[in-house]
Structure 1
Amino acid sequence: MKKIAVLTSGGDAPGMNAAIRAVVRKAHYHKIDVVGVYYGYEGLYNGKFEPLDLGSVGGIIQRGGTMLYSARFPEFKEEEIQNKAIENLRNQGIDGLVVIGGDGSYRGAMALTEKGFPCVGIPGTIDNDIPGTEYTIGFDTALNTAVEAIDKIRDTATSHENTFIVEVMGRNAGDIALWTGLAAGAETVLIPEEEFEIEDIVARLERSAARGKRHSIIIVAEGVMPGHKLGKILEERTGVQIRVSVLGHMQRGGAPSARDRVLAGRLGAKAVELLLEGKGGRAVGIHNHAVVDYDLKEAYENKHKADVSLYTLSKELSI
């Protein structure tokens, strides 16, 4: 292993730059050259490669987003395009590839590994929806961004005695909604993993009003339904005006938290170690505070499971 490459794919996440930095610095520590692939798998196919030295990753650990940029490239599923990508890597003298992204990015990495080109995946997504790791890079930062926003929304909700619905991201995973709701003391949290009845939400609002509380925060994960749709339903059922805030892509931006920076450093270094050991088709993650590695296929063949105990706790604490 004389030279490796690194790319970021899918949605950006705070801490991706810290992971890139870790890959580059760890590789150079072991006298391994590093090439950055710009624009994800599209850049892999189009040959958008640039050498990355120690200075290339200086001053990026605190920056959100990804210095290598990202792009959606569904065409990478095609075998002809995968073969061209491998040809480009071989022509550059590259022996292994680190892919930072989510489950879709992992599928591409596994396809290349099965064709004989070793790849290692690093979980970079705010959704925290990658099986095999307890936390993904970017989740903690997104969580803190959402909590900070909801704390501010609650000030207004309290002042005007309003009910607010706050829609958060997460695709079909409820981790952001669940953890944010618990941290921000939301009165109701709705996640894709748990069914709910509108009547239950109405009843909770009525109980709050009966004891003199006239403001509420309802957090809904985007995978459940749009916040504005839920707002209209509740207005029709209660006759009370509902305010709706959609946090949107602000959750994907901003400087990564200390926790995400440390996680990115640990996982980036582990990814390089695996390639140096000649291991491809692996993903890195965190389990019981320890860095682990496992088969890439587990990350997209298994289904992510939210911690339902937190959902139960949230309901118990918001009576």
Structure 2
Amino acid sequence: MTTHSHAARRQGLKAFSALALAALALPALAQNWPEKPVRLVVNFAPGGAADVLARAIQPQLAKTLGQPVIIENKPGAGGNIGIAETVRAAKDGYTLLLSSGGAITINPMIYEKLSFDPGRDLTPVAAVARVHVYLETHPDVPAKNVAEFIQYLKANPGKVSYGSPGQGSSPHLAGEMFKRMAKVDAVHAPYRGAAPALNDVVSGQLQYWFDPGPGLKHVEAGKLRLLAVGSAERSPQYPNVPTLAESGLPGFDADTLFGLYAPTGVPDVVVNKVREGVAKALEQKNVRDIVAGLGATPAVMTRKQFIDHHAVEAQRFGELVKSIGLKAD
């Protein structure tokens, strides 16, 4: 019996030592992070705002981390496919997500059967840019300003269509906010990202949309008409273009923050290194130029400010989502 208890004790000590060693090894592993390429999941299609921002910060992020950063587009279901992919990944920092804040805060309100809770399963790491939305129409739409456009919509109830990067995306919510505040009726056409929606506005299959940035080059080329900015303030890039608030819809603001997220539980050393990489990227002129090309603004903020912003966004859009009874399949 004694021999048996000695053996059991020895086994117990061995197991305890193994656990203690494993516990010691964890911080050591984290300190050496990253020791292999890092995957950056983008939960919208190539060519959209999230994708453009990811590719803008990728070179500096890779330089700071000392490892390649590989971008993987996982579009669909309003960003949920990319979120699910990230949430399922190991909590070791080798899978990160670049997403719109709307996909994180709004999707739980509109998708009833989510396999994850972004507020619980993701940790906000670093804000990248404040993405503004721009009301753009196809040139065939006979309206030169917001008042004329509202008049045109009222004359054609339910006959005019607008596109968005997906159900619950900030351009979709901007479209619903616009319909509600302007008291107009138009048909929403959701896409799997901004790029395919933009193609159909440029080709005239859709009459208008709220552009998160990729369409501005078509405005410059005369293929789209920019009527207004859906932000609280005018865009520095387009100082002569009025906001919707100035154009008869007081209080209109549909901006959203885009940023980097990690699965909840990643070590602090990962969060800090990624934040350092993003901060360095946002200091570079070429990166700032790409952000400006989207009509967006670099979002330089503390981690607490970034985390707190999610509650603000949830409240602002949450009231709209409830009032229009927005639900996605």
TM-score for both structures, normalised by structure 1: 0.38
Q: Who wins on radius of gyration, i.e. which is larger?
A: 2
